[in-house]
């Protein structure tokens, strides 16, 4: 399945500065694997050493949080948009 991947500036450096690009994957997990193959280090930005999604990284499938779907096993369809949005903190 060909999907559009959207990332925020925090992750852009891991994908050669791109904000949006297309990638393949039948599930969110497969998509992450394929993106990491093309851009080594991508998965390390969103997953821990056990392969679990980091809790502060939000992943949306067409504006729906995958945590409320099937997590990494959420199926994807051609034309879907998957957004990776790490939570930001700061301020004083």
Q: What is the CA radius of gyration of the chain?
A: 12
SS (H, E, C) the chain: CEEEEEECHHHHHHHCCCCEEEEECCEHHHHHHHHHHHCCCHHHHHECCCCCECCCEEEEECCEEHHHCCHHHCECCCCCEEEEEECCCCCC
CA distance linking residue 17 with residue 77, whole number of Å: 25
pLDDT, position 43: 95
Domains, the chain, ranges and CATH?
2-86 (3.10.20.30)
Q: Which residues pair with 22 in a beta bridge?
A: 4
Q: Specify the 3-state DSSP secondary structure of 26.
A: coil
pLDDT, position 92: 57
Two structure tokens written together for 78: 């051609």
pLDDT, position 72: 94
pLDDT, position 1: 77
pTM for this predicted structure: 0.90
pLDDT in tens, the chain (92 residues): 799 999 998 889 899 999 999 999 999 999 999 999 999 999 999 999 998 988 889 999 999 999 999 999 999 999 999 999 987 665 55
């Amino acid at each position: 399945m060909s999907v559009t991947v959207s990332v925020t500036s925090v992750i852009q450096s891991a994908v050669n500065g791109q904000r949006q690009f297309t990638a393949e994957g039948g599930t969110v997990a497969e998509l992450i694997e394929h993106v990491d193959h093309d851009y080594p280090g991508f998965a390390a930005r969103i997953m821990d050493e056990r392969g679990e999604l980091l809790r502060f990284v939000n992943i949306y499938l067409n504006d729906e949080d995958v945590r409320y779907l099937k997590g990494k096993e959420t199926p994807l369809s051609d034309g879907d948009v998957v957004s990776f949005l790490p939570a930001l903190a700061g301020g004083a």
